[in-house]
Structure 1
Amino acid sequence: MSEPVETVKVVKFLRLTFKTNDGDRTTSIQIPYPRADLTKEIIEAAMDTIINTNVFYFMKTASRLIGKDSAEIIERTVLTTDFDISA
């Protein structure tokens, strides 16, 4: 039996959080591997486009996006252990 193989990778994603018309609730969209040259202006313009085009509708709560709440780039280090269990 071979030893487990561990790999480490860094994963980045852009989390856009929007206000909804469902009271004080918010909802988020996570986009993996965002461009390195993103600016506040680019992110705000993208969020405005998402809000203004009504591309997301949440059937369960009958809510839609009505405003920007926050945006952040998240970076996580992921350690994966691969166990070779093939016979």
Structure 2
Amino acid sequence: MATKEMLELVFTNQMGREVVLRVKDPKADLTPAQVAAAMDTIIASNVFTTTGGDLVNKKDVRLVSSSVTDLWNP
């Protein structure tokens, strides 16, 4: 069984809809300030767009852990 972690960065776009960017295997020692600064950079750089427009606000950050068990691996 393997444990996998993912950092979910939740933004809102111009239409007010949630947009989630997922980062696999984030660094273990990330601080809230580092994550907030990265999210600010993503918004300011305007490199992502959605059907609801550009990303405009930070909404949430989540660290998601999951356990994966292979039942069959040919």
**Corresponding residue for 2:42?**
50
Q: What TM-score do the two structures reach when normalised by structure 1?
A: 0.80
How far does residue 83 in structure 1 lie from its aligned partner after superposition? Answer: 4.6
- Aligned counterparts of 1:25 and 1:83: Cα–Cα separation in 2: 39
Aligned mate of 2:2, from 1, 5, 9: 9
**Corresponding residue for 1:73?**
63
Q: What TM-score do the two structures reach when normalised by structure 2?
A: 0.93
Indicate the structure (1 or 2) with the bigger Cα radius of gyration: 1
Q: Percent identity?
A: 31
Where in structure 1 are there 5+ consecutive unaligned residues?
1-7
- Aligned counterparts of 1:63 and 1:15: Cα–Cα separation in 2: 19
**Corresponding residue for 2:54?**
64
4+ runs deviating over 2 angstroms: none
Where 1:80 maps in the other structure, the secondary structure is coil
CA contact (8 A) 2:10 2:21 kept: yes
Q: Give the root-mean-square deviation of aligned CA atoms.
A: 1.1
- Aligned counterparts of 2:62 and 2:25: Cα–Cα separation in 1: 13
Equivalent pairs, count: 74
